[in-house]
Amino acid sequence: MTDATDILNLDDLEVSGGGRTGRRHILSLLVENKPGVLARIAGLFARRGFNIDSLAVGPTDDTTISRLTLTVDGATHPIDQVTKQLHKLVNVIKIRDLEPEDAVARELALFKISADGDSRAQVMQFAEIFRGKIVDVHKRSLTIEVTGTDDKIEAFEEMVRPFGLIEMVRTGEIAVARGKSAT
Amino acid sequence: MRAVDAIMECLKAEGVEHVFGIPGGANLPTYDALYDAGLRHIQCRHEQGAGHAAEGYAKASGRVGVALATSGPGATNLVTAIADAVMDSVPTVFITGQVRTDLLGTDGFQEADVTGITLPIVKHSLMIRSAEEIPTAIHEAFHIARTGRPGPVLVDVPQDLSREDIAYEPVDSVELPGYQPTTEGNTKQIRLAAKALANARRPVIYAGGGVVNADASKELVELCLSDKLPVTCTLMGLGAFPAPHDQWLGMLGMHGTRAANYAMDEADLIVGIGVRFDDRVTGKLSEFAPRAKFVHIDVDPAEISKNVPAHIPIVGDAKRILPKLTAEYRALAPDTARLDGWWKRIDGWRDKHPLRYDDSETAEIKPQRMIEALYEVTGGDAIVASDVGQHQMWTAQYFHFDGPRKWINSGGLGTMGFGLPAAMGAKVARPDDNVICVSGDGSVVMNAQELATCVTENIPIKVFVMNNGYLGMVRQWQELFWDRRYSSVDMGKSPDLVKLADAYGATGLRVQDKGELEDVVKAAMDADGPVLCDVRVTPEENCYPMIPAGQAARDMVG
């Protein structure tokens, strides 16, 4: 009764999914807007030994639902496990693991930089190159708002650090999928 | 009606007949409603006991176990039971009282953030914010506890809200957008698994507690018997496949049989069903079943490829998947003769390494003999709850469970003190069955107070204490791996268990002569009411065989 289609060489079976992807992942979560949801997610990451690189939380167009955007390093974490554990949380409605090329991601950062005398003009020039906005001016410092991908923010940080970076505040990335369909 | 009366209506609508618990300040309203609600409440002596009783009830019956506790210490006393229930996927609902909403966050009397404390150990929890949401929350709790991968759900109810009047209307269905467990397995994957199984020459079916939870024992047996497939069960899965049986290799893992562990080691295909590849099963992960491909069937997708990467994952309910797998497998008409060589190999291990022990040449009772006597006297016709330690492993080895829900133990968390209250819960769920608790002299005193509950509530469980005077499993490890430095494992001579039984109003028995063992066991089984039987056994007997921690199956000793 055995025919050729019934033959399966077990050696041909490959592990399905799992493992490390080696890249950064942006996880976009829709969660119920209920008390304690963020604690559940943060607690899950802590308990399972997963690191959150950045986290942004905010309302959506539906008041009962919030959006969480997490970035996680797929080189050190099995992303499958991370998303499957997140899915087990009853308050997590939807998870989308956004491929960087299929998503538009932005972050906002505020840089407070020492800027007096000669350096002031140079800092302002960098701000212009990075399409940054000067949002506060003091005689010894400038505060510049920069938006963009985390790469851009990090590049700007590198450029201005030599002038004396007093502090930097970042929001964490948010992202939407490219194209017409919802994330 | 008052919200607490609505809670009672919800419990009844969920089919609840029994609840375990202890009243206190914050849940006084609940107990007032319970007073004439028509439910049987078993008033426990410690909330941990109530929690484990709810687990035992659930494990024996498959129904959701319910425990009630007050705020603060009442709620924190439940924590061990909740952690136990999440590890072993026990459908349970815990309803705790909370301080009044105006006191919340002020460190009020008996305030503890129980939802916060239990966040990592619940399947879900619901903190009540308004009285109106209470009925829905109770139904959501039951729905979440019993569906998908079962587990504990906590509902924390502030005292003032529980007294409010609400317009109660029966809740027909719950709506949880983020909770939709997969039940049907993927057909293509099932077909592929059948094909892999039909082409395997050294297959092993590895079944766990998930099969019991899914009530899929019959379906498991049908798959295994559709051919001559060798089957092993985890500690949690014992009884899912009836033992003893020709195709049964015994339990696998740290104290499993050599046949089961060696078969896993040499298998070319392992079909894991309702299992989680726990470290007590796999030993050293990098050397676990090095020749095998894995089919992994589980209702919880997060279990798949968590510890061991699966080649053919199938997410869903074992009860629905197994009949399809069996049908697909039968359709392939696999040649049973391909397994002849494999069975010869397995039989070789079975002949060479049966479970065995050297019986004493004196009147001394060997612990293994004690379990054999329990099995012989009851004819295996008993629900057996155990505590945690050597006695648990010996019971798993020498009591042959021939059906599901007859073996109730704490597998994942390994909670000493689980056995006695769990047996109590099991007896409440199945009053017509014999219910035994096998405990140890270390474990039994951790929740011995529930003997009082058994006596006052007339719950006639039979507790057999394997008394070796030690925290036996720890002593065994100290003997084998810590140069016999017996640090804090001697239990001394206290308490006198017969007197303890007497103090509680239970029957106390003692046996130390193996010639009298069976008669005493019979006497215990025949006695009216709860019995605590002190069985004095060989003090320093080791539980073998054993895979030392962190080693591989082929490193088994003893």
Q: How many residues does this entry show for chain B?
A: 558
Looking at B352, B380, B411, which one is the last position of a domain?
A: B352
Question: With the CA atoms of B80, B82, B87 and B93 taken in that order, what torsion angle do they form, in degrees rounded to the nearest 10?
Answer: 160
Which pLDDT score, from 0 to 100, does residue A179 have? 92
**Residue B284 falls inside a structural domain:** yes
pLDDT in tens, B68-120: 999 999 999 999 999 999 999 999 999 999 999 999 999 999 999 999 999 99
Sign of CA dihedral B363, B368, B372, B377: positive
Q: Quote the mean pLDDT of chain B.
A: 97
DSSP B155-209: EEEEHHHHHSB-----------TT-----SPPHHHHHHHHHHHHH-SSEEEEE-H
Q: Are residues B115 and B17 in the same domain?
A: yes
**CB-facing half-sphere around the CA of B518: CA atoms within 13 A:** 8
- C-alpha distances (whole Å) from B480 to each of B162, B402, B486, B541, B543 are 55, 33, 11, 12, 11
Amino acid at B37: A
Taking the alpha carbons of B411, B414, B419, B425 in that order, is the dihedral positive or negative? negative
For residues B279-299, give the mean pLDDT. 96
- Quote ipTM for the complex: 0.90
With left for phi above 0 and alpha for psi between -120 and 50, is residue B148 left, alpha or beta? left
Q: Is residue B339 part of a domain?
A: yes
Question: Is any Cβ of chain A less than 8 angstroms from the Cβ of B311?
Answer: yes
Residues B215 and B213: their CA atoms lie apart, in Å, by: 5
Under 8 Å between Cβ of A106 and A63: no
> Which of B176, B268, B313 is facing A10, going by the closest CB pair?
B268
Cross-chain CB nearest to B178 (options A6, A8, A93): A93
Contacts of A142 (CB under 8 A, 6+ apart): A112, A113, A115, A120, A123, A124, A127, A134, A136
Residue in the structure block whose two tokens are 């010639």: B515
- Is it the case that residue B245 has pLDDT exceeding 60? yes
List, as ranges, residues 200-219 from B with C-beta within 8 Å of A.
200
- Give the architecture-level CATH label for domain A104-175: 2-Layer Sandwich (3.30)
The alpha-carbon radius of gyration of chain B (Å, integer) is 24
* Adjacent-strand bridge partners of B463: B437, B532
How far is residue B137's CA from residue B154's CA, in Å, rounded to a whole number? 10
Chain A residue numbers touching B196 (CB-CB < 8 A): 8, 10, 13
Q: Tally the domains of chain B.
A: 3
Instruction: For residue range A109-119, list pLDDT tens digits in order.
Output: 999 999 988 89
CB burial class (10 A; 0-12, 13-18, 19+) of residue B17?
middle
To which H or E segment does residue B464 belong?
strand B462-467
Give the SS3 label for residue B433.
coil
| Same fold for the pair A4-98 and A104-175 | yes
Neighbours of B222 (CB within 10 A): 16
Measure the CA–CA gap between B537 and A158, rounded to whole angstroms. 72
Q: A17, B302: Cβ pair inside 8 Å?
A: no
Residues of A in contact with B300 (CB under 8 A): 88
Choose among B503, B242, B199, B196: nearest CA to B380. B242
Residues 266-285 of B with CB under 8 A from A: 268-269
Chain centroid to Cα B473, Å, comes to 19
Is B360 domain-assigned? no
User: Do the beta carbons of residue A175 and residue A98 sit within 8 Å?
Assistant: yes
B382 in the same domain as B529: yes
Nearest CA in chain A to B310: A15
Report CB contact under 8 Å: A47, B305. no
Q: What is the pLDDT of residues A127-145, one digit of tens each?
A: 999 999 999 999 999 999 9
Determine the residue of chain A that is closest to B144 in CA distance: A90
Task: Indicate the domain borders of chain A.
Answer: 4-98, 104-175
- Of B145, B162, B179, which one is at a domain's C-terminal end? B162
> Which residue's entry shows tokens 């006596």?
B455
Chain A residue numbers touching B268 (CB-CB < 8 A): 10
Residue A32 touches partner B, C-beta closer than 8 Å = yes
Q: Residue A3: what pLDDT?
A: 57
**Could you tell me if B340 and B487 lie in one domain?**
no
Give the Cα separation of B90 and B62 in Å (integer): 9
Proportion of chain B above pLDDT 70, given as a percent: 100
Q: What is the reported pLDDT for B411?
A: 97
Chains A, B: CB pairs < 8 Å? 84
Minimum-distance CB partner of A14 among B200, B306, B311: B311
CB contact under 8 A, B119 and A90: no
B343 in the same domain as B397: no
Asked if B196 and B310 touch (Cβ cutoff 8 Å), the reply is: no
User: How far, in Å, CA of B136 to CA of B469, rounded?
Assistant: 50
CATH number of the A4-98 domain: 3.30.70.260
In a domain, B32, yes or no: yes
Phi-psi region of B110 (alpha: psi -120 to 50; beta: other; left: phi over 0): left
How many Å apart are CA B515 and CA B512, to the nearest integer?
Answer: 9
Residue A18 pLDDT class (50, 70, 90 cuts)? low
- Touching check for B313 and chain A: CB below 8 Å? yes
B312 contact A CB<8A = yes
DSSP string, A107-174: EEEEEEEE--THHHHHHHHHHHHTT-EEEEE-SSEEEEEEEE-HHHHHHHHHHHHHHHEEEEEE---E
Is residue B399 located within the same domain as residue B495? yes
Whether residues B98 and B154 fall in one domain: yes
Q: Which of these ranges, A38-52, B206-220, B348-362, B528-542, has the smallest mean pLDDT?
A: A38-52
The CA distance from A146 to A124, in Å, is 12
Contact B512, B363 (CB under 8 A): yes
Residues B195 and B148 in one domain: no
- Greatest pairwise CA separation for chain A in angstroms: 89
Of B96, B127, B162, the last residue of a domain is B162
Instruction: Report d(CA B520, CA B512) in Å as an integer.
Output: 10
The Cα–Cα gap between B385 and A17 comes to 39
B47-61 helix and B79-87 helix, angle to the nearest 10 degrees: 20
pLDDT tens digits, one per residue of B505-555? 999 999 999 999 999 999 999 999 999 999 999 999 999 999 998 899 999
Question: Nearest Cβ partner of B293 from A2, A13, A87?
Answer: A13
| pLDDT beyond 90 at B43 | yes
CATH number at residue B288: 3.40.50.1220
Judge whether B175 lies within some domain. no
Cβ-based burial of B301 (10 A; exposed 0-12, middle 13-18, buried ≥19): buried
State whether residue A63 sits within 8 Å of chain B by CB. Answer: no
CB contact under 8 A, B301 and A84: yes
Q: Could you tell me if B383 and B333 lie in one domain?
A: no
Tell how strand A24-32 and strand A92-98 pair up.
Answer: antiparallel
Cross-chain CB nearest to B313 (options A16, A44, A92)? A16
Q: Which domain holds residue B507?
A: 367-536
Cβ atoms of residues B201 and B266 within 8 Å = no
pLDDT digits (tens, 9 = 90+) for B314-356: 999 999 999 999 999 999 999 999 999 999 999 999 999 999 9
Q: Residue A8 and residue B195: Cβ atoms within 8 Å?
A: yes
Q: Tell whether B133 and B256 lie within a shared domain.
A: no
pLDDT digits (tens, 9 = 90+) for B128-180: 999 999 999 999 999 999 999 999 999 999 999 999 999 999 998 999 999 99
Whether B231 and B377 share a structural domain: no
CA–CA min distance B191, chain A (Å)? 10
Best CA proximity match to A173, nearest among A84, A74, A58:
A58
Domain CATH code at residue B125: 3.40.50.970
Position A1 scores a pLDDT of 47
For residue B276, the SS3 value is coil
Do B372 and B348 belong together in one domain? no
Of A13, A36, A88, which has the smallest distance from its Cβ to B302's Cβ? A88
**Residues of A whose CB is below 8 A from B123:** 90
B143 and B231 belong to one structural domain: no
C-alpha distances out from residue B358 to A140, B367, B515, Å: 86, 11, 16
Q: Rounded to two decimals, what is the model's pTM?
A: 0.96
| pLDDT of the residue at A4 | 56
How far apart (Å, rounded) are the C-alpha atoms in residues B238 and B347? 21
User: B141 to chain A: nearest residue by CA?
Assistant: A90
At which residue do the structure tokens 């592990």 appear? A15
B346 domain residue, yes or no: yes
pLDDT at A65 over 70: yes
Q: Is A24 on the interface with B (CB under 8 A)?
A: no
Above 80 in pLDDT, residue A17?
A: no
* DSSP secondary structure letter of residue B498: H
Query: Has residue B543 been placed in a domain?
Result: no
